[in-house]
Amino acid sequence: MAGHTPSQKKIEGSDYNGVVRVDQEEGLHSSALPNDVFGREDDHEIKYKTLSWPLTAVLMITEIISNGMLSLPSSLDAVGLVPGVIVIAFLGAFATFTAWLLVEFKLRHPEVHNMGDAGNILFGPVGREILSAGTVIFAVCSAGSQILAGQLALTVLSDAKLCATAFSGIFTVAVAICSFPRVLHDLSLVWIIGGISIISAGIVAMVGAGAVPVDPGNIVIARSSDFTSAFISLTNPVFAYAGHFVFFIFISEMRNPKDAMKAAWTLQIVATSFYIAFAVVTYWYIGKGVSSPSLLSLSTLWSKISFGLAIPNFFIAGSLNLHTAAKLVFVRLFRQSRHIHSHTFTGWGVWTLLVLLVNTVAFLFAVGIPIFNYLVGIAASMFAAWYAYGLAGAFWLHDTYHYRGGYSGWFKRPIMFTLNIFTVLAGGFICIGGLYATIYSLREAANAGELPPPFQC
């Protein structure tokens, strides 16, 4: 299998069915290995590896269960209740499997801090640059999407009494403040607030839909449609799980990376069950024609309450995306230098510049590009489809080839080999299908004159 063979100690342990054991005779924890991202931190001023697995789980929930959830009821309306629920449940199970593959890969390669580092192992320097750039682009686009969600929420709450661009600017300031701390643990309080925020907003929205129903029970069990329409609708649940691109960065700051799968299990159980409950209940009570986001279909009072509760999650999730983008570049510039772990003028100066830069770009993209929503779809198709799905299979294929006997290592494990080939192909299918559907939608919107002007009020 083509790619760069990582220069690290030989891996010992199980047949990749559990957490890998690394150099047990030396008593080294994986996070203390010489090639670990942050190394030993006992005597450092700034310590990164401070996250417990429950906090990591909360972080993942806050980052992934966000405004994308609000489009799921409309996806059920487009394809039907039963197919929609099946897709959400399947993608939840699939995302759990790929999360496990990512965690295992990270434990075998403690030097991996982000998707760019993983790309270097698989494809060499070119892969590193492509996957690093993709991570930054997708993180900025995701944050821009959160800024627009915050803008919509503030517009609804104020009855549009202020220019939408002004609301976006106000929201971007909040995002920038939350993305500024260099250590993820320093954001632990706001993560908890963000996680509670979106769960509460979803519960209140379901209560509001039931209290003031629009067209209860008028739903479609299954709807036949052409490929393009169906795929466009299904991109909502596909990318509702597309937070895997941040997993390596999160795990790198855990006290015990071996516990990462506990956090991933917690995330996927909470996300999948909540997605299904929210989509089904909301769709049932609102009925056909439910809006995207679905909060717009609620009565005015319940819509305002739900949006108000969701606002903290929008800017906190946006800040996590931009923190991820800034952290990738920062670690790339200063890895193994004193600026990583010390309060130096250069370190803090560069960090501040990066945070301001990514926040400014996210704001300008969100309010200044008329096709920004389509740009997010293109970025998600090009990168998130691979980060959340396809690349996980490539990680297993790579390491099994290099550490388990080459091609024979693949064929001795036919079930895992088949599953991981399917994972790679699924990533490619989502990527190509998503690009086609997004570009088709963009063309149709342009032909219909539906694209909004930049910096609109």
Decide: 213 and 298 in contact? Cβ < 8 Å.
no
DSSP alpha helix (H) spans, 222-344 = 227-240, 247-252, 260-286, 300-334, 338-341
Q: Compute CA distances 75 → 97, 238, 294, 393, whole Å.
A: 23, 11, 10, 27
Sequence ranges of the domains in the chain: 52-367
> Residue 106: its pLDDT value, please?
94
| Cis peptide leading into residue 213 (ω within 30°) | no
Read off the amino acid at residue 24: Q
> Residue 2: its pLDDT value, please?
46
CA distance 125 to 318: 29
> Residue 277: its pLDDT value, please?
95
Decide: 350 and 339 in contact? Cβ < 8 Å.
yes
Decide: 37 and 335 in contact? Cβ < 8 Å.
yes
> Residue 120: its pLDDT value, please?
94
Classify residue 95 as exposed, middle or buried by CB count within 10 Å of its CB (0-12, 13-18, 19+).
buried
The structure tokens 């067209």 sit at 215
Q: Compute CA distances 374 → 75, 141, 227, 455, whole Å.
A: 17, 10, 18, 16
CA distance 19 to 103: 9
Other C-beta atoms closer than 10 Å to the C-beta of 349 total: 11
Other C-beta atoms closer than 10 Å to the C-beta of 422 total: 14
Decide: 43 and 249 in contact? Cβ < 8 Å.
no
Maximum Cα–Cα distance for the chain, whole Å?
Answer: 67
Query: How long a stretch of residues is the chain?
Result: 457
CA distance 136 to 158: 33
Helical (H) or strand (E) element with 340: helix 338-341
> Residue 33: its pLDDT value, please?
52
Residue 347: which residues within 8 A CB-CB, separation 6 or more?
334, 338, 339, 340
Looking at 2.60.40.650, 3.40.50.2300, 3.40.640.10, 1.10.4160.10, the CATH number of the domain 52-367 comes to: 1.10.4160.10
CA distance 256 to 114: 17
DSSP 213: -
Residue-wise pLDDT tens digits, 319-344: 999 999 999 999 999 988 889 888 99
> Residue 221: its pLDDT value, please?
92
Phi and psi, residue 394, nearest 5° = -65, -35
DSSP 51: B
| Low-confidence residues in the chain, pLDDT < 50 | 2-32
**Angle between the N-to-C axes of helices 372-379 and 125-158, in degrees from 0 to 180, rounded to the nearest 10:** 140
Q: Can you say how many angstroms the Cα of residue 42 is from the centroid of all Cα atoms in its chain?
A: 31
Q: Which two tokens stand for residue 176?
A: 């920038």
Q: Can you say how many angstroms the Cα of residue 174 is from the centroid of all Cα atoms in its chain?
A: 20
Identify each DSSP E strand in 27-141 by its residue range. none
Long-range CB pairs of 163-167, under 8 A, 24+ apart, other chains included: 163/457, 164/367, 164/456, 164/457, 165/367, 165/455, 165/456, 165/457, 166/457
